[in-house]
Structure 1
Amino acid sequence: MPNIKVIIPAYNEEASIPFVINAIPEIVDEIIVVSNNSTDNTEYNAKNAGATVLIENRKGYGFACLKGMDYIAKQEKKTDIVVFLDGDFSDYPEELTKIVQPIIDHNIDFVVGARVKGLREEGSMTVPQIFGNWLATNLMTLFFRSTFTDLGPFRAIKYDKLLGLSMEDKTYGWTVEMQLKVLKQKLSYREIPVNYRNRIGVSKVSGTIKGAIFAGIKILGWIFKYSFKK
């Protein structure tokens, strides 16, 4: 089996993080929870559940993901696959096996868990989220002939390909930046339909008007930046 690491950015997810960690399949070599300036018991609960806990005081989803990547880069043992997963228990961590399967069995570079309508619990995605995903993925289809249908946070990528993307976004644009760079570099990719449920607690992005607006601006900014970049 390949060496698989899971990176979980988490900001005040004390109630959900133990459920996420405990549901991750045993094929994973290490679970890395990056506490993104949490003020509750996220760090304690994550460590108690068996995860490696890192602290990133600079708030931002991308900052947390980059912190996890920096930790992996310093390890002696080679990492083969990195999985990104949210800490709110909206995804089903046990589905990680089918997220990594195309990489292991078919040498695919990048896999996104697509939150398809038929597998989504009612209310699990807000109207701005649904519209934002539709707009972003349709623009990617228009400009890059992409077949992506979702910007889902549950995703897996070969570690060497991840390094080659030179990820830089620090906040809301992390997921779309990754997918745009996959398209620009012509990496192989696949979407796998996944189940999606109402998260534990309140979303810090889609659950607020400010968060939804800033996320939308960041996502569209990345798309238009790459649409006109040679």
Structure 2
Amino acid sequence: MRFRTDVVLPCLDEAEALPGVLAALPQGARAIVVDNGSTDGSAEVARAAGALVVEAHQRGYGAAVHAGLCAATASVVAFCDADGSFDLGQLDRVAGPVHRGESDLVFGRRRVTSAASWPVHARFANAALLGMVRRRTGLALHDLGPFRAGRREQLLALGLEDRRSGYPLELLLRAGKEGLRIDEVDVDYRPRLGRSKVTGTVRGTVTAVVDMRSALRRFA
């Protein structure tokens, strides 16, 4: 079967959230769950729900996302967290403009449904980082969110190298440099299920900011 959209879901111990996340997948889309060292049976849960499971042995957000991109076969590939914070029923908001030829790369701009969805320290870090991006590159984006979509061949051609938390920023910077049409759309952002590894903790946010600032300096 040829799928309209492949949806890459980087995963580290998300067994609790995966059933609901995968159940919301629209018809014509395939889930590619990239297991990045889970110890809670996430891979087995994903397989039981019908997802393609790929293992990324190198730890890191970028390593997991890129492994999923390489495993994808659909012409349009979307990326989304596997923790239940996004509704895959809104996939067409993000992937639709790419399918219609209106955009090459679309980022989902997070609109919180609860104050608990996105901690203040993480929002501040996101806004500060994108402020630096706008000043240095002219790229106007409000949120470097993890729900996004683009054309598989174009994404692979960017030659992304970051395998940690700087991956999304490198994606934006390289896409802008190559002249890809970049847009953003609103998506709901809900409280995640289970323990947060990045944005829900100060330590995780600091790590992400350090990785992203390093990526930004490489393009300065």
TM-score (norm 2): 0.94
CA shift digits 1:57-115 (9 cap, x unpaired): 3221111112212323xxxxx52101001100101111001111111224310000001
Give the equivalent residue in structure 2 for 1:101: 96
Tell whether the 8 Å contact from 1:6 to 1:32 is kept in structure 2 after alignment. yes
CA distance in 1, matches of 2:70, 2:103: 24
CA distance in 1, matches of 2:200, 2:50: 29
* Pairing partner for 1:111 from 89, 106, 119: 106
TM-score (norm 1): 0.90
Asked if 1:215 is matched to 2:172, the reply is no
- Map 1:2-13; keep pairs closer than 5 Å: 3-13=4-14
Tell whether the 8 Å contact from 1:109 to 1:188 is kept in structure 2 after alignment. yes
CA distance in 1, matches of 2:113, 2:134: 23
Aligned length: 219
CA distance in 2, matches of 1:209, 1:129: 8
Give the equivalent residue in structure 1 for 2:171: 178
- Map 1:1-230; keep pairs closer than 5 Å: 3-28=4-29, 30-72=30-72, 79-116=74-111, 119-227=112-220
Tell whether the 8 Å contact from 1:173 to 1:215 is kept in structure 2 after alignment. yes
Shifted more, 44-53 versus 206-215: the winner is: 206-215
Letter in 2 for 1:141: R
Tell whether the 8 Å contact from 1:9 to 1:61 is kept in structure 2 after alignment. yes
CA distance in 2, matches of 1:81, 1:129: 29
Tell whether the 8 Å contact from 1:136 to 1:223 is kept in structure 2 after alignment. no
CA distance in 1, matches of 2:28, 2:129: 33
CA distance in 2, matches of 1:138, 1:48: 42
Tell whether the 8 Å contact from 1:98 to 1:192 is kept in structure 2 after alignment. yes
Q: CA RMSD in A?
A: 1.6
Q: Cα offset for 1:27?
A: 2.4
CA distance in 1, matches of 2:88, 2:139: 26
CA distance in 1, matches of 2:56, 2:172: 24
CA distance in 2, matches of 1:2, 1:79: 6
